[in-house]
Amino acid sequence: MPARRRTDPVAGRAALTAWLGGDTSRPTTTTAVRFTLEELAAVAPGNAVEVRVPPAGAVQVVEGPRHTRGTPPNVVETDVETWLALASGRTTWADAVAAGRVHASGERADLTAWLPLQAARPRP
């Protein structure tokens, strides 16, 4: 079942573009994070990995064993700036992990295959 979209894609792309242009206001950043998390859920559907970007949002993604209670075995957590840099391609997964800006645990917690997001790439 595809993720339920809450962020209008036009508004999400506009917020991400604004963030990439230097607008780091909370409404812009929160909209950009939620949009990109929803995009990740669309391209990597599942419930095996929980991606957390506090305080803006969280989503469960990637096929595999579903977790229902407690702390999931596969967790990715990062800050807003790092997440948007990953989603947009401004940084790589390997660089963010090596710098300690991403905390990933579990065998499915590597998001390299899905980042950067196609929807986050600049449009002509």
Task: Return the CA Rg of the chain.
Answer: 14
For the chain, list the strands marked E by DSSP: 49-53, 57-61, 75-78, 102-105
Q: Residue 47 pLDDT more than 60? A: yes
Instruction: Give just the sign of the alpha carbon dihedral 26, 28, 31, 33.
Output: negative
Find, among 106, 110, 108, 107, the residue nearest to 96 by Cα.
110
| Residue that has been written with the tokens 């669309």 in this structure | 42
pTM of the model: 0.90
Find, among 58, 67, 53, 68, the residue nearest to 108 by Cα.
67
Query: Mean pLDDT in the chain?
Result: 90
- pLDDT tens digits for 51-99? 999 999 999 999 987 766 666 789 999 999 999 999 999 999 999 999 9
Q: pLDDT grade, residue 121 (50/70/90)? A: confident
Mean pLDDT of 101-110: 94
The pair of structure tokens assigned to 109 is 């917690």
Q: Residue 15 pLDDT more than 60? A: yes
The packing angle between helices 80-88 and 26-43, to 10°, is 50
**What are the beta bridge partners of residue 53?**
57
State residue 43's pLDDT score: 94
State whether residue 61 is helix, strand or coil: strand
Q: pLDDT grade, residue 122 (50/70/90)? A: low
